[in-house]
Amino acid sequence: MEKILDEDYYDLMIDNVLLPNYDTGNNITNINERHSLLHVLTRQVNICDLGTNPYHRFPSIFTLTASISSQVSGVQQIQRNPSLALYGTGVIVGIIDTGIDYQHPAFRHNDGSTRIVSMWDQTVQTGTPPETFSYGSEYSRELINLALISAEPLSVVPSEDTNGHGTAIASIIAGKTDNVQNFSGVATEAEYVVVKLKEAKMNLRQISFVPEDAICYQESDVMLGARYLFSVARKLNRPLAICVALGTSQGGHDEHGATTGYLDYLTHRPQICVTVSGGNEGNSGRHYYGNIAVPTSDTLFELKVGSEDKLFAMEIWPYAPSRLTIEVTSPSGESTPLVYPGINTCERFNFVYNQGSLWINNITFEEETGEQLILLRFQNPFTGIWSFKLHNLENEQFSFHSWLPSGDLISRETYFLQSNPSTTITSPGNAIRPLTVTAYNQSNDSIWIDSGRGYTRTNQVKPDVVAPGYELPCAVPGGRYATLTGTGAAAAYACGITSMLLEWAVIRGNYTSITGTDISRLLTRSAYRDPNTTYPNNIWGYGQIDINGVFERLANL
């Protein structure tokens, strides 16, 4: 079995400059120009392996950012204009998600043939992997077309979207119009390259304290998916619009990190645009911000833990130059000793009045960011109010953020008692160059309440724009149609708009060297802004996406 699939191996992300220090045989899977995976044997997960190995080497856990009207945002105005009439023709839409129902009419031409150029299913090991990749199965347009005329399509191309999220996202971006179902995607003539992600390894779930049955994906597979999309687009010499409708609350919520860095790199290249959802954590109660103005003061904040949540992690990210100690008190009144910052430390604490355990890593500096990180991992925690007491060893004023996991990794019954909705954009939505999108309710022009909010922890403006994201019509597996809500739906809508701009710029020869950074800036400058609101702000970014505004501005140059 390939080590990238083998549960006996961790997949640790390392910088390529370190490769000479390791066996570069089949212990290494290259991701991109900067990062590779080092496959490390571990026949039994030791919780303190996260401590022996740096935090940033373990891939983050990603969750989905949407749950199962083109008059909004200027789309129909552009398509009805005979001198523009942009439908994404010639553009490749890249999907990294739960797969796609390739048999659905939304993804077929009028003659019944597929609009999918190629598909990499990381979960199926019976076919041939893509060139330079070691796992999964790649299916070409020709093979998918053969499946579509077969009496048993899945016997030819055994790839399914059993979740439906990927199918819905793909259809909003570019699904074929169906007037009977009152459905149309945005860029209805674009074609697809699809990556179906395998779910996160159990050993990564165990060390990250993620429930075994949670639907989640690991960062390294997302990065490899992005590399696959990039390689196909370059081979075909066609512009590429990537949509990432996934997110994580792990990490420092800043521009650092492997995936944010890679998506930044891709967005800065010609003819590639990356659209990322901002996450649905704005109303979840899963973020706390503390700002202690009195230098010698400690601070205390509290977390309500629900009865359903038996396994989860929590992160605290202080700002330099503070060095924080932590003391934790359980609902039974039992407290841990003070835990001081250190290097390669991992301490376990057990409680007398319940069978739960708490692991604390107080990391002096997390290598990706250089910042202190306090990582707490709870196993069978006592239901009730937990208290966290922080003290700054520098005896200076200090501030910090704390985040709980995103999506369905914990229930809504676990939350901070004095939560803060700001700084809840999930990664990789904190990347600087990609277009980060949150959702508004297009029926009443109000922000969708669960939309992640900015800014980033380093005060970069995010989100960039908001897009329609409330009950958008979409395709779902089995030839059916439904609606999708969330920032993932909004990111898909915005990705359709970036596909139209790539057609105008590249396919029609108006600006062939355009980058995703250029497109992001065009869309932020031309967004609709309410005259009674100050922009940019941490909820609306630069305003509501409006492709018509782009061409109005270009016409006035």
| Mean local confidence (pLDDT), 77-85 | 59
pTM: 0.95
Q: What is the structure's pLDDT at 2?
A: 86
pLDDT in tens, 187-212: 999 999 999 999 999 999 999 999 99
Q: What is the structure's pLDDT at 182?
A: 85
| Mean local confidence (pLDDT), 424-448 | 96
The stretches of 217-321 forming alpha helices (DSSP H) are 219-236, 258-267
Is it the case that residue 82 has pLDDT exceeding 70?
no
CA 373 to chain centre: 21
Is it the case that residue 65 has pLDDT exceeding 70?
yes
Q: How sure is the predictor about 344, in pLDDT bands with cuts at 50, 70 and 90? A: confident
Is it the case that residue 176 has pLDDT exceeding 70?
yes
> SS3 for 503?
helix
Q: What is the structure's pLDDT at 72?
A: 45
What is the Cα–Cα distance from 9 to 4, expressed in whole angstroms? 7
pLDDT in tens, 94-136: 999 999 999 999 999 999 999 999 999 999 999 999 999 999 9
Is it the case that residue 521 has pLDDT exceeding 80?
yes
Distance of CA 190 to CAs 138, 296, 548, Å?
20, 60, 19
Q: How sure is the predictor about 45, in pLDDT bands with cuts at 50, 70 and 90? A: confident
Instruction: Give domain 72-107+166-282+427-555's CATH number out of 3.40.50.200, 3.20.20.70, 3.30.1360.70, 3.30.70.270.
Output: 3.40.50.200
CB contact at 8 A, 358 and 364: no
Strand order in the sheet with 324-329: 324-329, 384-392, 299-305, 415-416
pLDDT in tens, 30-43: 999 889 999 988 87
What the block records as the tokens of 506 is 């590249």
Question: To the nearest whole number, what is the mean pLDDT of the chain?
Answer: 93
Is it the case that residue 355 has pLDDT exceeding 50?
yes
Bridge-based pairing of strands 116-121 and 191-196 is parallel
Q: How sure is the predictor about 487, in pLDDT bands with cuts at 50, 70 and 90? A: very high
Domain-wise residue ranges, the chain: 9-57, 72-107+166-282+427-555, 287-416
Q: Quick one: what percent of the chain has pLDDT higher than 70? A: 96
Architecture of domain 287-416: Sandwich (2.60)
What is the Cα–Cα distance from 180 to 165, expressed in whole angstroms? 23
